[in-house]
Amino acid sequence: MRNFLLNPVLNKEFKLRFRSFKSFLGLACYLLALSILIIGFIYLVTRSSPLGLFRPDQSKTMFMLLSFIQMGLILFITPGLTAGVISGEREKQTLNILLTTNQSSTSIILGKLISSVSFLLLMILASMPIYSIVFLFGGISPGQVITILGYYIFTILAFGSIGIFFSTLVRRTIIAMISTYGVTLFLTAGTAFLFSISLSVNQMGITTNNPVPYFFAMLNPAMILFSFLEPDAFRELSSQTGMGIDFPLWAAYLISYTIIFLVMMFISIRKLRPNMKVKSKG
């Protein structure tokens, strides 16, 4: 742990990212946009209400809206932040210099991953006080907010590992970025489309207790978020469509993306340094 905290790669990346005025300007603009969205939502709801009240169910709707906006931000920004961290060093011809240091491949890969997503994590954490506005009106418990925050952090690391993987394997940053966004698009829009198709097959009665929609749902971050926010509605949907699996969807998501994270990081660490074997003469 001490070696990780003293990681020169991590320290250098932190200084480059957090000493820039543009970083904090971007953070301020993001928080301002969220605040305007919340104030505007409350204003429109109370204006249309006869008594000018903001009910707990409306507060929950506002929280769900913010949650899906944050999830969209994570899925859109994370590939762009991570897909060029290794390939960018290779294009600038600084990767070989980095590999000659006494830093291990694990230390370099983890340092690049944490530093690349650190600003996004800061944006998510900085928005938590804005989220706390929902407590004034009810409808959301602190446990739900903490659960969503933990889910965000896990999703950032999981999708960040995919970007690191392509950045390590592909030499050109643009190709690594396209590949990362392609996989992200499949795991979001692609799985949602396949889920709807397989769900319609179940509803037509062609098959009974078909678990295929469950497997697509457990890979889709938006569906997992919806199951956190509306667990009863998603449970009723599962029972009515005959998915046939009672295992918690969030647990399946956690297991599957943990495996993806470990595999992506393992391959990235192994492929960072070329396997240089000294051939014996004679």
Q: Distance between CA atoms of 193 and 169, rounded to whole angstroms?
A: 29
Contact between 35 and 62 under an 8 Å Cβ cutoff? The reply is no
Give the amino acid at 106. T
**Global pTM?**
0.86
Q: Going residue by residue through the chain (282 aa), what tens digit of pLDDT does each one get?
A: 445 555 666 676 677 777 777 778 888 888 898 889 888 888 888 887 777 777 778 888 888 888 998 999 899 999 988 988 888 888 888 888 777 877 788 888 888 888 888 888 888 888 888 877 877 777 788 888 888 999 999 999 999 999 999 999 988 889 999 999 999 999 999 999 998 888 777 666 655 567 788 888 889 999 899 888 887 776 766 665 556 677 788 899 999 999 999 999 999 988 887 664 444 443
DSSP 92: T
* Torsions phi, psi for 171 (to 5 deg): -80, -35
**Residue 268, Cβ neighbours under 10 Å: how many?**
26
State the sign of the Cα–Cα–Cα–Cα dihedral 89, 94, 100, 103.
negative
Contact between 27 and 123 under an 8 Å Cβ cutoff? The reply is yes
Contact between 239 and 199 under an 8 Å Cβ cutoff? The reply is no
What stretches of 56-104 show up as alpha helix (H) in DSSP?
56-82, 85-91, 95-99
